[in-house]
Structure 1
Amino acid sequence: MTRKLHLFAAIIATGLLSFSGVLIETAMNVTFPILIEQFHINPSAVQWVTTMYLLVIAIMVPLTNYLLKRFAIKPLFIIANLLFILGLSLDLLAPNFAILLLGRFFQGFGTGIGLPLMFHIILTFAPLAKRGLMMGIGTLTTSIAPAIGPTYGGLLTTNYSWHYIFLFLIPILVVSLLIGLYAIPYQKTNSTSSLDTLHLISLAIFFTGMLMFLNEPTKPLNISLFFVGLLAGGYSIRRAKTSPQPLLHLDVLKKRPYTIALLSFLAIQALFLGGSFIIPTFIQISLGYNAFIAGVVMVPGALISALLAPVAGRLLDRVGPQKPIIGGLTVACCGLLLLILACWQKSIWLLVLAHATYSIGTGFAYSNLMTAGMNSLAAAEYGDGSTIFNTLQQFIGAVATTIVATIMTVTQAHQSSITAGTNLGSLIGLACLFVLIFSALISCLGFFKKMQSK
């Protein structure tokens, strides 16, 4: 009983840290129109509030895979928590855009360590029969947080100031730290593995080059960075194959069940982050509501995600992955079509219904895709498999945010008004997200059908 209590408390501690980290991804999205005016920047610049943060996480997660092999869990958790609190404090007092980005850097550093810790604890200490439920509880933090982020950010921005978004998270981090000091095991490590620095640097160059290009694809410097990023990505893959101790082993990608689950999971992550940018922006600019209303619209979907994550995990434990994943992706596609119609009709009530509908679908599919992918691996592959999930989760979130922000910037610049540009940009962005989710559904249908025929 004591062991189960400690496991649950450890998941709660790392879950609170991860929840805060993922919440802050989208909580600032509703403030973008305010930040653009306050700091005199354009949409392509302001989206770096999210992109900078996700970029740091994407770089840190693979590094954390190495850190978990060399250092005990508890001190890593403490460092992650303190760095996150430092980032929150900087942004609470940020007098300019540069300091705001610096604070986001430290928040990304802390989240990049804390997020893999949660899944490491679940995969290491939770029994297989309970793994679906535990992964559901853990993934709850990464699925509900993006949805309620705009609500949280909108409420505080409208009634106080965007600075309070960071202030109100500090007590949560303190509680997380106290629970973690009690519950997280020290777990000594005996590994003598060394850090492949070249592998880490090449990954960082790849992520940065891709995001810089997507942010402003016509800029000559960013075109150059794109090709530099491609070269760095190719070198990173080569290091993974030839280095005696690579940062990541990519052999897990050869397993079809894992890869199908990973790509479908990333499609939903793109929907989370891309949708969390599009919907609040559309509500404020196209429909004329304030940041608070833009956040409130996301509440029903957020509550649905909160209720479904552990339920969906329990369902996988009982009936397997096929029904919740296929059913969830189907409902998500229907919800997205409804969302496109809501933006076309400019109906806020239809928009609420559409967001709630696709949240039902993603609630059943999201955590179960990660669980199904991880269950297809051997125990020795959990570290690399989880790291790839978490790294690409953050990177695809940054890519999705960057792409929809770029679409919005371009359409606003080429339409007769900002409102008309936002309308068109929202529809184009949502159409792109629908293609991703529909592709994930077709891939999973084909895979499960092939498995049944065998």
Structure 2
Amino acid sequence: MKEKSIRLIPAVLATGIMSFSGVLIETAMNVTFPTLIQQFDLSTALVQWVTTIYLLVISIMVPFANYLLKNYSIRKLFVLANLFFLAGVLTDFWSPTFAVLLAGRILQGISTGIALPLMFHIILTYTPMNKRGTMMGIGTLTTSIAPAIGPTYGGLLTAGLSWHYIFLFLTPVLLVSLITGLRAIPELPVKKTTSLDLLSLLGVALLFSGLLLFLNQLGTWISFVPLAIGAAGFALFSHQSVHADNPLVRLTVLKNRGFRLFLAGFLVCQFLLLGISFVLPNFLQIVLGKNAFLAGLVMLPGAAIGAILAPISGRVLDNLGPKKPILFGLAFATLGWIGLTLLLRIPILLGFVAGHVFYMVGIGFSYSNLMTTGMNRLTETEYGDGNTLFNTLQQFSGAVATAIVATIINLTQVHQADFIQGTILGSQLSLLFLLALLIAAFVSIFRYFKTKSSAKN
């Protein structure tokens, strides 16, 4: 019945296009910061709000979407998300002031915060278990290529036309998403099962507002104030998760060791994806003197391969189980990452392309499969909470990764006599830090599979 009521692949692609557009704009706007600073007479700290406010809204909306999915039809939520996104991009195309630009980013954040969990909700609810890996791969395909395309897309339009066109050119893409979704997603009745826990929502808002402000102000004494606010929000959210009748998210799913482990591995991969999308383009521009367009173009082959491999690796998981594709992927990613780290000392442009391709082959086999395997460790009643945790932490970890690598590079640039040498050292230290996380994830997951195999024997 479920499979006949919805056209699964078009529905996933329609919601995925919105998620793709959200990630694309997020990374495309990073290369426009110098232009925005000059045009609106901003400080570097203030211009960061173009990305920060967007990530903040998504971080709050994803847990809220868990409530929405239990109380409203997926068709209504899809249309709402698409209209919010269209309103957001048209607002930012027009935006005559920085305040209007931020208002548009808020509208886009609301849309992406609904679209991401909606896409995975459709996959988890309407896909048979033996095809789930493939469909999760297709869902991931729509977003995994965006971080690498973004800098190229943003740099090309900013240099050739204006940053406003970054938003305008997405309008026809979103209209395609809307038309496709309206044809693929029927109006299905939903029995309202929960009431909105406002204290949980307040806790989420305080948690992510505090932590993002803390990351934005790293290195200053005042950063401890938003950190305290974030801690208070986490305490309130955790309390409601356990004691409220209908919390936004039940954190009890984290007691499941398998789910917890694969969630951590997934977030490490997200750290690497966002970390390299910051480190490599900046290294190529500052150290090698390349422009933003070429710096983004270097990452395009690897991103394309990673995206193409996502559904293929999902099919491998469906046929062979999770162990082989995940361990193969993490091993390949580790080798590619080591290569990229070494190339920072002896920079060769084609070497960066090859190293990134090698690394992205590994990500292609592991990234979406980590999420699929983690979600498969839960019962059907826990899918909403697990889906919310994956999507919320995926977005927030991107902000954390960017803040950490930016801080490391900034510190070495300040403390080295030569700015370029400081950039090289900071980039290497950043990749070494992320390499340590990757190796830890690989070892932990390897031991998990080994223990499971021993238990069967």
The CA RMSD over aligned residues, in Å, is 2.0
For 1:353 and 1:58, the matched residues in 2 are separated by 34
- Per-residue Cα deviation, 1:65-100 (whole angstroms, up to 9, x for no partner): 001111111111111111111221222233344333
Q: Per the alignment, in what secondary structure is the counterpart of residue 435 of structure 2? A: helix
| 2:288 aligned residue | 287
Aligned ranges for residues 254-293 of structure 1 at < 5 Å?
254-293=255-294
Kept after mapping to 1: 8 A contact 2:6/2:186: no
**CA drift at 1:416:** 3.5
Aligned ranges for residues 157-168 of structure 1 at < 5 Å?
157-168=158-169
| 1:305 aligned residue | 306
| Residue ranges of structure 2 left out of the alignment (5+ in a row) | none
| 2:452 aligned residue | 451
| 2:52 aligned residue | 51
Aligned ranges for residues 283-362 of structure 1 at < 5 Å?
283-362=284-363
Q: Per the alignment, in what secondary structure is the counterpart of residue 280 of structure 2? A: helix
Kept after mapping to 2: 8 A contact 1:47/1:405: no
| 2:183 aligned residue | 182
| 1:198 aligned residue | 199
Higher mean C-alpha deviation, range 19-28 or range 254-263: 19-28
| 1:70 aligned residue | 71
Higher relative contact order (CA 8 A, sep 6+): 1
Higher mean C-alpha deviation, range 428-437 or range 166-175: 428-437
Kept after mapping to 1: 8 A contact 2:13/2:142: no
For 1:394 and 1:402, the matched residues in 2 are separated by 13
| 2:96 aligned residue | 95
For 1:60 and 1:159, the matched residues in 2 are separated by 34
**CA drift at 1:14:** 0.8
Higher mean C-alpha deviation, range 48-57 or range 79-88: 48-57
| 2:106 aligned residue | 105
**CA drift at 1:187:** 1.7
| Residue ranges of structure 1 left out of the alignment (5+ in a row) | none
Identical aligned residues as a percent: 54
- Per-residue Cα deviation, 1:367-387 (whole angstroms, up to 9, x for no partner): 000000111111111111111
Kept after mapping to 1: 8 A contact 2:287/2:424: yes
**CA drift at 1:138:** 0.6
| 1:434 aligned residue | 435
Kept after mapping to 2: 8 A contact 1:29/1:280: no
- Per-residue Cα deviation, 1:296-322 (whole angstroms, up to 9, x for no partner): 111111110121011000000011111
Kept after mapping to 2: 8 A contact 1:14/1:115: yes
- Per-residue Cα deviation, 1:230-251 (whole angstroms, up to 9, x for no partner): 1221221111001111110112
Kept after mapping to 1: 8 A contact 2:140/2:307: no
- Per-residue Cα deviation, 1:157-195 (whole angstroms, up to 9, x for no partner): 333222221111111111111111111122221124111
**CA drift at 1:51:** 2.7
Higher mean C-alpha deviation, range 36-45 or range 394-403: 36-45
Higher mean C-alpha deviation, range 141-150 or range 69-78: 141-150
**CA drift at 1:42:** 5.4
| 1:24 aligned residue | 25
Change (3 A) 1:440 1:47: farther
Kept after mapping to 1: 8 A contact 2:88/2:108: yes
**CA drift at 1:37:** 4.7
How many residues are matched? 454
For 1:93 and 1:425, the matched residues in 2 are separated by 38
For 1:274 and 1:97, the matched residues in 2 are separated by 27
